[in-house]
Structure 1
């Protein structure tokens, strides 16, 4: 029987990778594509990217009441999610 494989992550290196400029740029680009697919600023959606405590993050949110209603009724952001892949 084969011995189990044990993987040990270098936590410091993983943290540096998750905060790297390349990851930040990739997340910002993905958020931008989702934002555009959802209708953009004209439809009331907003895309943001920022560095959190332990990693870079990006989000697309329904910023206006019109966009929130649209999201609740039609799940616009869920439909636009594939644009970020």
Structure 2
């Protein structure tokens, strides 16, 4: 086993990539939900409950994306 590296920059880089990858994955899922919601609007009278659930999930994903973006940007006050 290798000893831990004292370089802090190398420790932060994988975390940032992980955050960026999570943001991209959530953005992709958000777009897919948007498409599904648009499809359901064509036949909205068929499944209102499904439409409401998808909208709620889309909003939760949007909030998660914003939180991850906030984590990705370093605090300037620190």
TM-score category of the 2 structures, normalised to the smaller one: 0.3 to 0.5
Higher fraction of strand: 1
Give the TM-score of the pair, scaled to structure 2: 0.35
Q: Which has the higher contact order (CA 8 A, sep 6+)?
A: 2
